[in-house]
Amino acid sequence: MKKTWNSKSAEILAETLNIRLTDINPLRADKRVTIEDVRCTHRDIKKMGYNVTLLVQPVGDQETNKMKLTAANVKKLVPFWKREIESLKDGWPTSDVKVEHIHSKGHGHAIQVTFSVNQEFTEDEDFELNMIVEAALDVDDDGNYPVYVNTNGNIVAVASSRTTDGDKTRYNSRGTSTLMSSNELRRRIQKK
């Protein structure tokens, strides 16, 4: 018998929790997945995998980099970074994303990223965990989201920003664009 959803609610809950139908073991003999099956699977998934903490410092393109590492600039990058890291769950089993600006004596202004990877990997599959971490470190790997900096080194916009009325912000007169990458300051991966 093939697995199916018992209700639309179970399907929606699984989608919200980023759980695939194939990952759920239904208790019913007819293989229909219930909300309780989804909840049990979610509890089990939360117990396995890794907790990842990264400390990164955003940097601009080395040739045109005028971006200053100030609290205001780093805070402007936090929502962009969070949105990009949350999009990782479209391809990998990630959850519990938290992105925040921190200031440390040794590193200055930086972004701390924490998230969970809800899957365990064998030694042969460790490259997948490293791919997830690398994707979290390099949120603008294709250069689609340049950061616009004025002559004082202050960020005036990030290309994915939108105005309150939903229109794209116009950047031509706002400043020089710089591609963003990051310096990894610290990486901690702990098995749950």
Angle between helices 35-47 and 8-16 (to 10 degrees): 20
- The label of the residue with tokens 């901690």 reads 188
Q: Clarify whether residues 76 and 128 are in a common domain.
A: yes
Contact between 17 and 42 (Cβ < 8 Å): yes
Residues above pLDDT 90, as percent of the chain: 28
Q: Clarify whether residues 13 and 105 are in a common domain.
A: no
pLDDT tier, 38 (very low <50, low <70, confident <90, very high otherwise): very high
Q: How far apart are CA 187 and CA 113, in angstroms?
A: 10
Residue 40 burial (CB count, 10 A): 15
Contact between 88 and 135 (Cβ < 8 Å): yes
Q: Clarify whether residues 36 and 56 are in a common domain.
A: no
- Average pLDDT of span 140-155: 76
Q: Clarify whether residues 25 and 102 are in a common domain.
A: no
Q: Which residues contact 72 (CB under 8 A, 6 or more apart)?
A: 154, 155
Helix, coil or strand: residue 129: helix
Query: How many distinct structural domains can be found in the chain?
Result: 2
Q: Clarify whether residues 112 and 59 are in a common domain.
A: yes
Contact between 68 and 75 (Cβ < 8 Å): no
Q: Is the pLDDT of residue 163 over 50?
A: no
What pLDDT is recorded for position 118? Answer: 83
CA 83, distance to chain mean position in Å, is 6
Q: Is the pLDDT of residue 52 over 90?
A: yes
Q: Clarify whether residues 79 and 19 are in a common domain.
A: no
What pLDDT is recorded for position 178? Answer: 61
What DSSP string runs through 9-70? HHHHHHHHTT--GGG----STT-EEPHHHHHHHHHHHHHSSEEEEEEEEEEE-TTT------
pLDDT tier, 161 (very low <50, low <70, confident <90, very high otherwise): very low
Q: Clarify whether residues 182 and 97 are in a common domain.
A: yes
Which residues are 111's β-sheet partners? 56, 101
Where is the domain boundary, 16, 31, 47? 47
Domain range for 141: 51-191
pLDDT tier, 86 (very low <50, low <70, confident <90, very high otherwise): confident
Q: Clarify whether residues 61 and 145 are in a common domain.
A: yes
Q: Clarify whether residues 185 and 128 are in a common domain.
A: yes
pLDDT digits (tens, 9 = 90+) for 91-147: 888 888 999 999 988 888 999 999 999 888 888 778 889 999 998 888 876 666 777
Q: Clarify whether residues 122 and 177 are in a common domain.
A: yes
pLDDT tier, 162 (very low <50, low <70, confident <90, very high otherwise): very low
Q: How far apart are CA 94 and CA 85, in angstroms?
A: 9
**How is residue 3 written in tokens?**
């697995």
Q: Clarify whether residues 57 and 136 are in a common domain.
A: yes
Q: Clarify whether residues 25 and 85 are in a common domain.
A: no
